[in-house]
A and B are shown apart, each in its own frame.
Chain A
Amino acid sequence: MSSSETKSETAVMRLVEAPDQTRRSVDEKNLHHVWSRVEGVIGWLCTTNHKEISLRYIITAFGFFCAAGVLALLMRLQLSVPNNRLIGPDLYNQLFTVHGSTMMFLFAVPVMEGVGLYLVPLMIGTRNVAFPRLNALGYYVYLAGGLVLYGGLFCNIGPDTGWFSYVPLAGPDFSPGKRVDFWAQMITFTEISALIAGIEIIVTVFKQRAPGMSIDRIPIYVWAVLITAFMVIFAMPAVMLVSTMLAMDRMSHVATHFFNVAEGGDALLYQHLFWFFGHPEVYIIFIPATGFVSTIIGTFSRRPLVGHSALVLSLIATAFIGFGLWVHHMFATPVPILGRSFFTGASMLIAIPSGVQIFCWIATLWTGKPVWKSPLLFVLGFFAIFVLGGLTGVMLASVPLDLQVHDTFFVVAHFHYVLIGGAVFPLFGAFHYWFPKWTGRMLDEGIAKLTFWLMFIGFNLTFFPMHQLGLEGMPRRVYTYHANLGWNGLNMAASIGAGVMGIAVLCFLYNVLKSRRSGVIAGNNPWQAPTLEWATTSPPQPYNFLYQPTVNSMHPLWFDRPNQPFVVGLKTDRREVLTTTLLHAVPEHIHELPEDSCWPILLTVVISGTLLGVIFNPWPFVIGMIPMYIVLFAWFWRDIDLKHLGRAK
């Protein structure tokens, strides 16, 4: 689009309070025609609607969550009694590796991105994300990465060196075969996807906020997702780098020696690079979850959050400090003592912003008038579980204590308290909270409460005993243990608890399937929530908002005038969005988004073929470039897309 065009478009933009009914129905029809996708399988594969893609992210990630949950149940079955011969070490090692890798790379990060990509455009009042086709590419690449990992597992070439794949164990000498390569390649897929999502979020939030949504009026959840996106962009390259270095060390044609001690490589370099990503990763998962917690607490306490600015600054502080503690994963390695003290200090320091958030949330509940619906119940569970995990985290920051409990079941307990308490409970709260927006129907409140209690009890029964097991000397990642070490009872308890958690997840799935058909119709805003996503229909139309909304406060549906004006002047015969300035969200110009496109999925096929081929031979990397450039050329050629062709312009 040329700049003169932009100017003329802006000239016709204006604010109106309520367009009349005739105008509304005409615009509705036009927008529907322009923004909805072509029917059929092709249209389904080529869609660039952020809501459809996000739901696929969420459903796929939830599928991987269930798959990794099944792996966890198998592990608990094996560990329920000592000297169990049910699962041998070879399979067990694959199970915990794929469980961990799935939960970190294929569930936690993508599901948070999925929810974020769904909600952010709605919350900031725009029609789609900034780069819709790239968004589709991100999803398909993620899906391909997940399938690569599970394809490996089902063919008995699943990775078996842990989700961290430390060298030299994961190096060519001690892990021959292709198992570790599948792991390393899965990382490449998912990190491409994560970086894409990060870029989408940042550009969308920076440039497409509704007029009036100046930086001090951005909803807290959008802040959380935005800050996470920045963390992704700084943290993920480290793991892509390290997994690629590992893959190159392993590739017999290339055989670099980055980590080969015999050739002057360094095993600890791997750990530094891995944890430079690995620790921020925890916050990449946790910070969006704090966004859920803040949003749910705000809505159900029936008041604005206490200390909104403090909460946002805490998130930013967490994101910064989160990059300065990676060595606390390496306290048992021969790193210098003085250096360790620094990381102890930093690890304790990060408890402060988390503490500030906890105080603000409790103060909001305390001074508000909370309505205890199921989403808030999950937040209650979050407090009980996450705070315990956070406090054991303070213990782990101490070098002497860490030396005892590092790599034991105590740590397993700690990070499940942090990640399940800190991310999965809020996520389930978020599912219950936004399900009406996504589907138009409410989840059954009774089953929701049952889900919560089963999950809460099952979780604590599974993971609380693990603290004790770790203190009593049970290391992680063991496929069996002796009967005379006193670990039998607690392991059995943990296994029973895992079963209860499994039932809780089934309960939730039943609730989803049942309520999707026959749940109570939700209406636009069933919770009387304050943010913009509740201003539109449930589920939202493909174009999100009939007219570009404007806002006059941080809680538009609570505090803005009922006749808050809309922006009209965006064309209804093409996919136009309004872009606004970074700080004050003043309208800047009109931007036309591309139509639906088949290139993202075709590019995914090419990328996947290339990356899979590279596992076995370096040549596919060179050969794959050719189709890749062809597809990219077509991608950037403006008018090759479905609707343009279909509509025969």
Chain B
Amino acid sequence: MMRCISPFLLAALLVSGCASNHSAVAPASREAHAISSLWWQFFWVLGIIYILVVATVLICRFKSRRDRANINLPQPADSIPGESKTHRVIAILTGVSVVILLGLLVDDLFASRVLAPKNDPGALNLTVTGHQWWWEIEYGDQDPSKVFQTANEIHIPVGRTISFTLRSPDVIHSLWVPSLHGKKDLVPGHPATLVLRAEKPGIYWGQCAEFCGAQHANMGLLIKAESASDFAVWEDAARKSAVAPMTDQQKHGQQIFLNSTCVMCHAVSGTIAGSHNGPELTHLASRQTIAAGTLPNTRENLALWIQEPQLVKPGARMPGTGLQPNDLADLLDYLQTLK
């Protein structure tokens, strides 16, 4: 990208995030592209204005060094020569500013058109529900049996329009995956829609952008954009119920899960656990992170999260379980089968 090697220090500082998967200036969707190119137009126009203004002020500074010798008494404005010329210059500059601002306004309206939601019958409909402090995701379908839920990790196909319905049952959250789109608030009582079409496969990081309480900082999510065929494979797997435990340890682990407080909040399809107060765990082991992007999904982290959630994420709704080491190991064995 040419812009990454910009000669200007200012620009160089501002574009160093070109390669990341969570940057407004590293777009990977139609919408993020539109915003990013608008950003660069604003950036150059306003950047040049800034440099001109500061340069003019600095010239005043050096000009006055030359003039320092002849400080004389102030004169009334109407007796200063060239005053009307100065007024004319100011009027012209004001006119130029108006024209530039109008240009930027038109530019802005064109970009807004790209973002305006359009009716696309082939769109994939997702409902994202924000909770303190995790994301619930439901993949909709005409056929109710094909509807399924997951949490904190969204898979989408590249090149297809995705329509997110956003809602919140508790406080205001904001869905923001910078490489894919700007943010949209999840306001209780005001369902909203966010439409985007990913153009580049990849894993994109996002997190809640509206302050939502103690663990606002740890309310992350991943969006994995993949080819239509990869997505179809994933979707099929995601619709399936959880696999039954095989070994004795796994079976014991499942018993611990089903007979403890876990089931009061979590669901694993194919079992009696069906509560949706917390993230769906049917395919927990296939996800990359736990606790809404707080920790990488490893056995050690899972153990820590189950035993000491308040240490990992103070204030989170998950209570510590205080399991015996053997029971914990079996529970982990079971949870790791939930691929």
Contacts and interface: CB of A to CB of B under 8 A. Distances in A.
Interface of A: 88-90, 93, 161-162, 166, 168-169, 174, 261, 266-268, 302-308, 310, 332-334, 337, 340-341, 344-345, 348-349, 351-352, 355-356, 358-360, 362-363, 365-367, 369-372, 380, 383-384, 387-388, 391-392, 394-395, 397-408, 464-465, 467-468, 471-473, 475-482, 485-486, 530, 553, 555, 558-559
B19 to A, nearest CB: 9
Contact of A334 (B59, B74, B190, B293): B190
Contacts of B241: none
Interface string B43-81: 100110110011011011101100110111111110010
Contact of B112 (A310, A400, A473): A400
B289 to A, nearest CB: 10
Contacts of A90: 214, 314-315
28 contacts: A168-B171, A168-B188, A169-B171, A302-B71, A302-B73, A304-B74, A333-B192, A341-B112, A348-B101, A348-B105, A349-B101, A352-B97, A358-B53, A363-B86, A365-B64, A367-B80, A369-B72, A370-B64, A380-B61, A383-B53, A387-B53, A391-B47, A402-B182, A472-B17, A472-B20, A473-B176, A475-B208, A558-B73
Among B17, B63, B68, the one with the most A-chain Cβ atoms within 10 Å of its Cβ is: B17
Nearest to A305: B77
B157 interface: no
Contacts of A486: 17, 20
A445 B180 CA distance: 52
B211 A302 contact: no
Contact of B178 (A305, A308, A402, A404): A404
Contacts of A340: 112
Contacts of A392: 46
B164 interface: no
Interface in B87-103: 87, 89-90, 93-94, 97-98, 101
B314 A475 contact: no
B115 A362 contact: no
Among B74, B190, B315, the one with the most A-chain Cβ atoms within 10 Å of its Cβ is: B74
Which 6 pairs show the lowest CB-CB distances between chains A and B? A403-B182, A478-B217, A473-B22, A261-B189, A365-B60, A334-B192
B14 interface: yes
B222 to A, nearest CB: 12
Contacts of B262: none
Nearest to A478: B217
B14 A468 contact: yes
A405 B38 contact: no
B64 A369 contact: yes
Contacts of B97: 351-352, 355
Given A174-B171, A334-B192, A468-B16, 8 more contacts: A306-B83, A332-B210, A334-B190, A356-B94, A365-B57, A398-B111, A403-B182, A475-B176
A372 B66 CA distance: 13
A359 B93 contact: yes
B108 interface: yes
B168 to A, nearest CB: 9
Contact of B184 (A332, A348, A363, A481): A332
Contact of A407 (B60, B61, B209): B209
Given A380-B61, A391-B49, A559-B76, A471 B116 contact: no
A348 B108 CA distance: 11
Contacts of B111: 398, 400
Contact of B50 (A89, A305, A310, A391): A391
Given A400-B112, A402-B182, A478 B216 contact: yes
Interface string B162-200: 000000001110101010011111011111100000000
B57 A261 contact: no
Nearest to A170: B171
Given A337-B116, A405-B24, A400 B76 contact: no
A409 B274 CA distance: 39
B108 A344 contact: yes
Given A268-B187, A394-B101, A306 B23 contact: no
A363 B94 CA distance: 13
Contacts of B278: none
A400 B178 contact: no
A397 B82 CA distance: 37
A161 B189 CA distance: 20
B35 A401 contact: yes
Given A334-B185, A471-B17, A400 B101 contact: no
A647 B50 CA distance: 63
Contact of A479 (B56, B170, B174, B217): B217
User: Interface residues of B toward A: which range?
Assistant: 35 or more
A467 B12 CA distance: 12
Interface string B201-220: 00001111111111111100
B29 to A, nearest CB: 12
A372 B218 CA distance: 49
B54 A384 contact: yes
A383 B185 contact: no
Contacts of B50: 387-388, 391
A345 B107 CA distance: 12
B61 A89 contact: no
A530 B76 CA distance: 11
A407 to B, nearest CB: 4
A528 to B, nearest CB: 8
B34 interface: yes
B292 interface: no
A630 to B, nearest CB: 44
B260 to A, nearest CB: 27
A366 B75 CA distance: 15
A398 B36 CA distance: 12
A261 B71 contact: no
Contacts of A345: 105
Nearest to B289: A482
Contact of B101 (A352, A365, A403, A405): A352
A470 B222 CA distance: 18
Contacts of B20: 472-473, 485-486
Contacts of A480: 217-218
B234 interface: no
Given A398-B42, A485-B205, A333 B71 contact: no
A404 to B, nearest CB: 4
B56 A362 contact: yes
Contacts of B205: 473, 485
A477 B63 CA distance: 44
B177 to A, nearest CB: 8
B82 to A, nearest CB: 7
A362 B53 contact: yes
B304 interface: no
Contacts of B105: 344-345, 348
A367 B22 contact: no
Contacts of A360: 90
Interface in B257-310: 293
Given A394-B101, A471-B14, A363 B217 contact: no
Nearest to A394: B46
B13 interface: yes
Nearest to B16: A468
B64 A407 contact: no
Contacts of A89: 214-217, 314-315
Contacts of A267: 172, 187-190
A359 B191 CA distance: 45
B109 interface: yes
A613 B198 CA distance: 55
B25 interface: yes
Contact of A401 (B42, B57, B170, B217): B42
